[in-house]
Structure 1
Amino acid sequence: MTRKTGLIAALDTQDPATAKAWAQAVAPSAGAIKLGLEFAYAAGFQAVADVAGSAPLFLDLKLHDIPNTVGSAVRALSHLRPKMLTLHASGGRAMMEAARQACDDAFPAHERPALLAVTVLTSMDDHGLQEIGVAATARDQVVRLGKLAMAAGMDGLICSAHELAPLRDVLGDKPLLVTPGIRPAGSQAGDQKRIMTPAQARAAGADWIVVGRPITQSDNPAAAAAAIVAELAG
C-alpha cells in the first residue's frame, strides 16, 4: 500500500539560533520539526517552545522511567503542546499506560499529542541487542514491543523502515508509524544501522519519516527538505 508520508525535520543542535534558522528554512516543506534530548538539555524547554513557535512539534525525549515518573513528566510537558511525544516501549506496559492516562488528563482532547513508543533504536542491530541480553532479532523484538505498545494505548510506534512491513502485517493500518534512519540516496549512514531512502520508507508503509543531518548539514537546508518531499510525492 502506498500512503501519504510526511517529513519531520530533525533539528539536532545545541544552539537556539541555529535551530530557529533551520526551522524557518524547512517550514515550507516539513510537516513537523523534531527537537530532542540534545537541544532540550542544552537550551531548555523555553527555547524548545521558542524554536517551535506555531510549527507542529515532534518532541523526541524518549521517556523511560518508572510509571509514576513518566506520567508526571508527561503532565509537566503539557504546556509545550507537542504534536508527537516519544517514550520507550521497553519501559513496559504499566509505564506506557501511565503516560496514556497522564496525556488524557493533562491535555485538552483536541490538543493531545500522539504518544509514540520507540521499539528498537535504529542505531541497534541484532548484535547490539545480543550484547544487552536480547536474543531476538531486531525485527522480532520490534514486532513484540509494537504489539505491547498498541495494547497499552499508544498511538503509534517509532521503528526502522525495515520493520514497517512486518508491523503493518501484524497491526494493520491503525498505528502511526514514524521512521528515523532515513537517508536520501548518496547520503552518509552516520551512526544509523537500519536505513532506507524516503521513497523506500513510503512504499513500506511509513506515515512520517525523520530526517536530520542530510538536511541540516547540507549547503541549502531548504532545498534539501524540498527535495525529500518531492521524492515522497513521486
Structure 2
Amino acid sequence: METSHSLNEKVIVALDVNTKEKALDIARELAGCGCWLKVGLELYALSGLSLIQQFKELGFKIFLDLKLHDIPTTVEKTLSVLTASGVDMINVHCSGGYEMMARAAEVGHKAGKTIIGVTVLTSMGQEDLTSIGVQGSTQEQVLKLAMLARKANLNGVVSSAQEAKILREECGEDFLLVTPGIRPAWSEKNDQVRVLTPRMALEAGSSYLVVGRPITLNENPREAIEHLWD
C-alpha cells in the first residue's frame, strides 16, 4: 500500500496565483510533503525564472507549464534557454507539429530534462473542438496527437485523465501521462470539463496529477493535499 508521501510524489501543484509572495507562501507550506510545483503563464509573467531557484532550494521538482507553440527554430532556441534553468519538466503544444516536437525532444534529452506535449486542453469539450474545425471525437484527437508526440520522441503528453486508459494502452508503460483537470470528490470542477478524482486518474493510468485550486485556494494547503486521497 502506497504511503501519502509516495502518492504526493505523483501530484503537481499548480501555482496559478497572482503574486510571487503568495506562490512562495504556498511552497513553504507544502515543502517536504513530496509534491511537485507547476509554474504556469501567470506566475511566469510575474517572475520569469527568478522563483525557480527558490523553489528548488525548498526541495521541489518543477514543471514549467508554458505550452510552447511556435515555429521549430523558435521553440528549439527557447527550450535551450529554459532547460538551462532548474526546471525538470517543460511542455509544448502537440499541434505545433512533428518537426517542432522532434527538435524540442532533442533539446530536452541533451539537457536531461523531460519534455511533454499538450494534446487537447481539459477546458475544451467536443463542441469547442468542432468549432475550431477539428473532425472526429475528443478522444480521437487526443490519441492522434499523443501518437505523433511519441513518434517525435517526447517523454509523454498532457491529457485529460479520461483519455489516460486508452493512451496507456496505445503508447506504452514508459510514456508519461500528465493529467490536469483533477478534482477531489469534495471540490468544485471550476472551469474544467473533463475531470476525474485523483484515485480514479491513477487507476486509469496517469503518471502525474496536476491539482490547483483545491489546494492553493484552501486555507490550509498542506492539509488539503493530504486529503486528496479521501
TM-score (norm 1): 0.90
Secondary structure of the corresponding residue to residue 136 of structure 1: coil
8 A Cα contact 1:116 1:155, kept in partner: yes
Q: Distance in 2 between matches of 1:202 and 1:146?
A: 18
- CA spacing shift, 1:36–1:52, aligned 2, 3 Å: farther
Question: Do the aligned partners of 2:20 and 2:46 also contact (CA within 8 Å) in 1?
Answer: no
TM superposition outliers: structure 1 runs of 4+ over 6 Å: none
Give the distance between the partners of 2:73 and 2:53, measured in 1 at CA: 25
Cα distance in 1, alignment partners of residues 41 and 109 from structure 2:
24
Aligned residues: 223
Structure 2 vs 1, CA of residues 226 and 186 (structure 1 numbering), >3 Å: closer, same or farther?
closer
Runs (5+) with no aligned partner, structure 2: none
User: Which digits, 9 at most, give the CA deviation of each residue in 1:147-182, with x for residues without a partner?
Assistant: 000000100111101000110121121211111000
- RCO higher in structure (CA 8 A, sep ≥6): 1
Give the whole-Å Cα distance in 1 for the aligned partners of 2:55 and 2:86. Answer: 13
| CA distance, structure 2, for counterparts of residue 14 and residue 48 of structure 1 | 16
* 1:12 match: 16
CA positional deviation for 1:52: 4.2
2:51 is the alignment partner of 1:47 = yes
Question: Contact (CA 8 Å) 2:108, 2:114: kept in 1 or not?
Answer: no
Q: How does 1:187-202 map onto structure 2 within 5 Å?
A: 187-202=187-202
Q: Please show how residues 27-66 of structure 1 align to structure 2 within 5 Å.
A: 27-53=31-57, 54-66=59-71
Q: Counterparts in 2 of 1:27-106, with a 5 A limit?
A: 27-53=31-57, 54-105=59-110
TM-score, normalization by structure 2: 0.92
In structure 1, list runs of 5 or more residues that go unmatched.
none
Alpha-carbon contact 1:214-1:224 (below 8 Å) kept: yes
- State which drifts further: 17-26 or 63-72: 17-26
Please report how far the alpha carbon of residue 136 of structure 1 lies from its aligned counterpart in structure 2 after TM superposition.
1.7
Give the alignment's Cα RMSD to 1 decimal: 1.6
